[in-house]
């Protein structure tokens, strides 16, 4: 079993979610959003860094899953997003969490079975898989989506290892 932290970093809001990935399927532990409303950009980085460190200290995840961003609509927002992402990942790295990155396509494929699924379908599957129908902001459900994608990949890897061991 592994406890997984998923994050969806943004320059104004960073979503996070924590699941336990066990034999009985994934279990939802916590989710939320870190809001960075301040004007001074370094203050926002500090908020996200402290916020993720706090989530890690509180829930003790063992692995970090984060969506890989390949391209972005414009360079200025990519730079801001990058800084937020760097701050969030560093906060997890200070607790020695290994970092796993997945593309949006991989997340959609793992959750919906279709790499071109839309955000609403992903959010729907997140709630379905985690048996949670309460209101959840998109940033938080996206964070849980990448955590579930990681859980799915790890389960597949373990199954493959068992099959290979049995075939020997």
Q: Which residues are catalytic?
A: 8, 67, 139
Stretch that binds its own copies, among 39-47, 113-121, 143-151, 158-166 (CB under 8 A): 39-47
Stretch that binds its own copies, among 63-71, 107-115, 126-134, 159-167 (CB under 8 A): 63-71
3-class state of residue 117 by DSSP: coil
The minimum distance between CB 53 and its own copies, in angstroms, equals 9
The minimum distance between CB 87 and its own copies, in angstroms, equals 4
| 39 labeled part of a ligand binding site | no
**Which of 50, 2, 9, 10 is closest to 29 using CA atoms?**
2
| 118 labeled part of a ligand binding site | no
Stretch that binds its own copies, among 18-26, 84-92, 104-112, 141-149 (CB under 8 A): 84-92
| 67 labeled part of a ligand binding site | yes
The yes or no reply on residue 143 touching its own copies (CB under 8 A) is: no
The yes or no reply on residue 95 touching its own copies (CB under 8 A) is: no
Q: How many helices (H) and strands (E) does the chain have?
A: 5, 5
Indicate the residue among 42 and 113 with the shorter CB distance to its own copies.
Answer: 42
3-class state of residue 125 by DSSP: helix
Residue tagged 């729907």 (tokens): 124
The yes or no reply on residue 76 touching its own copies (CB under 8 A) is: yes
The yes or no reply on residue 90 touching its own copies (CB under 8 A) is: yes
**Binding its own copies by CB under 8 A: which of 25, 38, 41, 162?**
41
3-class state of residue 13 by DSSP: strand
Instruction: Show Cβ contacts of residue 47 under 8 Å, excluding neighbours closer than 6 positions.
Output: 34, 35, 36, 38
For the purposes of burial, counting CB atoms within 10 Å of the CB of 127, is it exposed (0-12), middle (13-18) or buried (19 or more)? middle
């Amino acid at each position: 079993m592994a406890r997984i932290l998923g994050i969806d970093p943004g320059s104004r809001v960073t979503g996070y979610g924590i699941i336990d990935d066990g034999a009985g399927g994934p279990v939802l532990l916590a989710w939320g959003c870190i809001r960075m409303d301040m004007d001074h950009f370094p203050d926002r980085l500090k908020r996200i860094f402290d916020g993720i460190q706090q989530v890690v200290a509180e829930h003790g995840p063992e692995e970090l899953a984060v969506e890989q961003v390949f391209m972005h609509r414009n360079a200025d927002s990519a730079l801001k997003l990058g800084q937020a992402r760097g701050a969030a990942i560093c906060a997890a790295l200070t607790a020695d969490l290994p970092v796993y990155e997945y593309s949006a396509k991989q997340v959609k494929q793992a959750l919906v079975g279709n790499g071109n699924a839309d955000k609403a379908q992903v959010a729907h599957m997140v709630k379905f898989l985690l048996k949670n129908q309460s209101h959840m902001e998109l940033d938080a459900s996206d964070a849980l989506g990448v955590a579930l994608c990681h859980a799915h990949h790890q389960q597949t890897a373990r199954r493959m290892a068992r099959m290979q061991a049995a075939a020997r």
